[in-house]
Amino acid sequence: MERTSRPAAACLLSLSLLALAAGGAGASGRAEAQSICESCEVQAGLGATYHFWGPTGGVVLPVTVNWSDNRYELGFFRVATTQLLEDRTYREARVMADPYWGMSLSRRWHFIERGPVSGFVGFGLAAKTESDQLSATRLDFAEQLGVRFRLPGDRVAGELTLRHWSNAGIRLPNHGQDFATLTFRLNTGLFGVPRTDVIAIDPWFGLASAAQGPRGWDDGLAP
């Protein structure tokens, strides 16, 4: 299989991601652009690869950045181990892909919400450093289907996401890269938090605290 050079792949990746980012920014308008930093969040976790619902042994290390109330996602992924597929046609496991680095930029839509759980779908572009039996191209389409949830206390939010990268048959082979990721965001205050995840504080609490003394005794100012 003929492989392109790394500089060419890097240039193609940069141009594609810039084009997608520019399109998303133009559609969202100035108001949304100003609120990006207010709702951005960083998530990290662990993932695994599969193919036709069978494990392939690939360990995935994901780091994602979401913004605009989780409508956009920029993901960085390290597939840290070789992907092997057990097939009856072959005596030994078939090598589908070697370890590689990948990234994706996607637009996401939430289609259902029930309390602390919501479902979403996403579509965008993905790029990786190696071509393999899963995809002959290094620039692919990225699809995702996931569930976002918040743990009690609204301090920790997580996402379980099924992801698929492929070139839509533009060039063969095109089995597609399938993997699932489980990521978490801890509300430490270092990054922005979506308004829906912020815990509101009753304004009466501040007034009551000001009306009490240093040790909590009433100083006579409270009614």
Per-residue pLDDT of the chain (223 residues; tens, 9 = 90+): 444 445 445 544 554 555 555 455 444 544 554 445 677 899 999 999 999 878 899 999 999 999 998 999 999 999 999 999 987 766 788 899 999 999 999 999 999 999 899 999 999 999 999 999 999 999 999 999 999 999 887 778 999 999 999 999 999 999 999 999 999 987 656 555 555 455 444 455 455 555 555 554 454 444 4
**Cα distance from N-terminal residue to C-terminal residue, the chain:** 82
Q: 103-125 b/e with 16+ CB inside 10 Å = b?
A: bbbbbbeeeeeeeeebebebebb
- Number of Cβ within a 10 Å radius of residue 220: 7
Amino acid at 201: I
Residue 29: strand, helix, or coil: helix
Instruction: Give the domain 40-194 fold.
Output: Porin (2.40.160)
What's the confidence (pLDDT) of residue 21? 53
- pTM exceeding the 0.85 threshold for the entire prediction: no
What's the confidence (pLDDT) of residue 2? 43
What's the confidence (pLDDT) of residue 54? 83
Give start and end residues of each alpha helix (H) in the chain.
6-34, 36-39, 203-210
Residue 96: strand, helix, or coil: strand
